[in-house]
Chain A
Amino acid sequence: MTQLALVIDLNTCVGCHACVTSCKEWNTSGEAGPMVDRNPYAAEPTGTFFNRVQSFEVGNFPHTQTVHFPKSCLHCEDPPCVPVCPTGASYKRPEDGIVLVDYDKCIGCEYCSWACPYGAREIDEQQKVMKKCTLCVDRLYDQSLPEQERKPVCVLSCPTSARIYGDIHDPESEASKAINDAGGYQLMPEWGTEPANHYLPRRKVDIAIHEEDLQRVDNPLRKEDRGPRAPTTRTTLDDSTSW
């Protein structure tokens, strides 16, 4: 079974909000209609967003790091928001695991937003329906787009390539490899929602290089020296290898 998802590299994200603005641009211009945008250029801008970037300062001054944290619907594999919906407007697609809201069925009761522990759903104050990240489902299968653009727009717009998109059930996908190789993790795993989106942790950016790493002083098999000789009294496999 396919489970499309995003893998977000917190080690790379610089908090530029390119994903936020491109997400809003794509989705507000889409067929589902505009997303609320109140006071966009005034002091208290507010509105509907599918994706937001939060920033955190980790550590005690002066030993701190800033972690930028993009946050959107995680397309949980066991989404608690879906079974509670009384109308069936919220559903998880069996074919690719994307969790969607049917805006024509939604009655705006907000019950699903109570059931999502991540606060990933937002009522649209103009259309009065529940909205959330669609993983750009209207791009993924669009044959009129060039193949390399059939991806969520946030992934395409990220200048640091901090967002990886793919099928996390396919062990060969770029997303699965990133999760496995770089220690990808899920948010609030304690609730058992099995979020499909994963995050890659901060990694150490400095490495300590010791003298021994450059000069292999204590290595008896140094390349600089000649390799050991195979015993001359018997025939071994070593005869044919050169170390």
Chain B
Amino acid sequence: MKPALSVILLTTLIGAGQGLFLAYYSAEWFVMLSILARAQTDYSGFAAGLSFLLLAAGLLASFFHLGHPERAWRAAAMWRSSWLSREVITLPLTMLLMLGYALLKLGSYDPLVFVLGESIPIAASTLVGFCAVLALCALYVCTAMIYACLKFLRQWHSPLTVLNFILMGGASGFTLATALSAYTRDGRFAYFVGMAIFLTLAALISRFASLLRNRKLRSPSSLQSAIGVHHPTIRQLAQGAMGGSFNTRAFIHGYGASVVRLARRSFLLLAFIAPVALLQAGSETSAFLCVSAFVLQYLGLLVERWYFFIEAEHPQNIYYQMIS
């Protein structure tokens, strides 16, 4: 498949935004359960605002993918059958809940709703945040299932796709949280950095597993089944268009093997290995290292998502032997 820049931006930006929210919201629970110490200044409202902005940027990027962005609202219609439609519903919902959480946290009005057990006060923001977490988990699944549900694109049609989206989004979100925490010194660094390293390594393993899986895939389709002629030797003479067509422009990437190999190596290095090394070396006082870890990881994930498209082979390319 030809990589679509707007989709690459959408999936990487919202993945990081969701992970960042998850990081700060889970830290809040650990504080309530007295596992983490209470911070002097609580930055979770600020972090939720940043998550909201990342999702908004992703949403904005996605509009550039549409031929008719003014009709985008129509895309909520077919949620019963279409994962894309489900994403179109869960994305704004997640954003709304994140925004609600951020406003409650940053504003002065955050009423106590009830007390859990004996001693855990649940405020309105905690409840809204909980709904936001449910929504963002659904959003991870919807986003990944858009690709994983297409059974003809065998490289995508795997539970590993969903796992990769969750782990990579989570990893970049926690790395961003680590950077934020190192910058603000809010005492959550140890938790964030541990989770960021863990998620990045987990993402590396699962992405590597999908690379291995895709190496072994063989298409059940061939030129023989595509045109229904059984002779083993078939050569295409004409593809029905002289100046190319949508079919040759949208599905065939045309990059050479060396470029593809370079991309694979650089995303493995940038998105996984470099951030882990930087985070290991970083400490609560080295905001610069942590920020660079996030920047490198995000760039790496952009390359990873680009590669994700390149990796997928569309069966329609069989009909365009002269190019593909």
**Chain A interfacial positions (CB closer than 8 Å to B):** 10, 20, 38-39, 43-49, 52-60, 66-67, 69, 71, 80, 82-89, 105-111, 113-119, 121-123, 125, 127-129, 185-191, 199, 201-202
- A47 CA to B320 CA in the complex, in Å? 16
B153 within 8 A of A: yes
- Interface size on B (CB < 8 Å)? 57
Asked whether A83 lies within 8 Å of B81 as measured between CB atoms, the reply is yes
B69 within 8 A of A: yes
- Mind listing 12 A-B residue pairs with CB under 8 Å? A46-B244, A46-B245, A55-B237, A71-B240, A83-B78, A87-B85, A109-B67, A110-B250, A115-B150, A117-B316, A119-B314, A191-B151
Q: Chain A residues with Cβ under 8 A from B76's Cβ? A: 86
**In the complex with contacts A87-B78, A118-B316, A56-B243 CB distance below 8 A:** no
**In the complex with contacts A60-B233, A69-B227, A107-B66, A87-B319 CB distance below 8 A:** no
Q: Chain B residues with Cβ under 8 A from A82's Cβ? A: 81
Taking the closest CB of chain A, its distance from the CB of B148, in whole angstroms, is 12
Q: Chain B residues with Cβ under 8 A from A38's Cβ? A: 243
Closest residue of B by beta carbon distance from A199: B228
- A188 CA to B227 CA in the complex, in Å? 8
Asked whether B69 lies within 8 Å of A86 as measured between CB atoms, the reply is no
Q: Which of A43, A52, A109 has the most chain B CB atoms closer than 10 A to its own CB?
A: A109
B40 within 8 A of A: no
Closest residue of B by beta carbon distance from A186: B228
Asked whether A128 lies within 8 Å of B68 as measured between CB atoms, the reply is yes
Q: Chain B residues with Cβ under 8 A from A186's Cβ? A: 228
Q: Mark B309-324, 1 if CB is under 8 A from A, else 0.
A: 0000011110110000
**Residues of chain B in range 146-166 having any CB-CB distance to chain A below 8 Å:** 146, 149-153
Among the 9-residue stretches B106-114, B218-226, B286-294, B297-305, the one with 4 or more Cβ atoms under 8 Å from chain A is B218-226
- A192 CA to B240 CA in the complex, in Å? 26
Q: Which of B68, B72, B150 has the most chain A CB atoms closer than 10 A to its own CB?
A: B68
Asked whether B228 lies within 8 Å of A201 as measured between CB atoms, the reply is yes
Asked whether B245 lies within 8 Å of A49 as measured between CB atoms, the reply is yes
- A181 CA to B75 CA in the complex, in Å? 44
Asked whether A45 lies within 8 Å of B243 as measured between CB atoms, the reply is yes
B255 within 8 A of A: no
Taking the closest CB of chain A, its distance from the CB of B216, in whole angstroms, is 18
Q: Chain B residues with Cβ under 8 A from A80's Cβ? A: 150-152
Asked whether B71 lies within 8 Å of A84 as measured between CB atoms, the reply is no
Closest residue of B by beta carbon distance from A42: B243
Asked whether A114 lies within 8 Å of B75 as measured between CB atoms, the reply is no
Q: Chain A residues with Cβ under 8 A from B239's Cβ? A: 52, 54
- A107 CA to B261 CA in the complex, in Å? 35
Q: Chain A residues with Cβ under 8 A from B72's Cβ? A: 107
Asked whether A87 lies within 8 Å of B237 as measured between CB atoms, the reply is no
Partner of A190, one of B65, B220, B246: B220
Q: Chain A residues with Cβ under 8 A from B217's Cβ? A: none
B56 within 8 A of A: no
**Residues of chain B in range 231-277 having any CB-CB distance to chain A below 8 Å:** 231, 233-247, 250-251
Closest residue of B by beta carbon distance from A17: B240
Asked whether A44 lies within 8 Å of B77 as measured between CB atoms, the reply is no
B83 within 8 A of A: yes
- A202 CA to B224 CA in the complex, in Å? 13
**Sample of 5 more A-B contacts, CB < 8 Å, known A44-B242, A56-B237, A191-B151:** A10-B228, A45-B242, A59-B231, A85-B82, A128-B68
- A121 CA to B316 CA in the complex, in Å? 10
Partner of A107, one of B74, B228, B229, B250: B74
Partner of B244, one of A44, A60, A84: A44
Q: Chain B residues with Cβ under 8 A from A187's Cβ? A: 225-228
Asked whether B67 lies within 8 Å of A123 as measured between CB atoms, the reply is yes
B177 within 8 A of A: no
Q: Chain A residues with Cβ under 8 A from B20's Cβ? A: none
- A66 CA to B238 CA in the complex, in Å? 11
B84 within 8 A of A: yes
Closest residue of B by beta carbon distance from A129: B67
Q: Which 8 A-B pairs have the closest CB atoms?
A: A108-B67, A119-B316, A128-B67, A52-B240, A44-B243, A46-B243, A86-B85, A83-B81
Taking the closest CB of chain A, its distance from the CB of B257, in whole angstroms, is 23
Q: Chain A residues with Cβ under 8 A from B149's Cβ? A: 84
B88 within 8 A of A: yes
Partner of B315, one of A69, A110, A191: A191
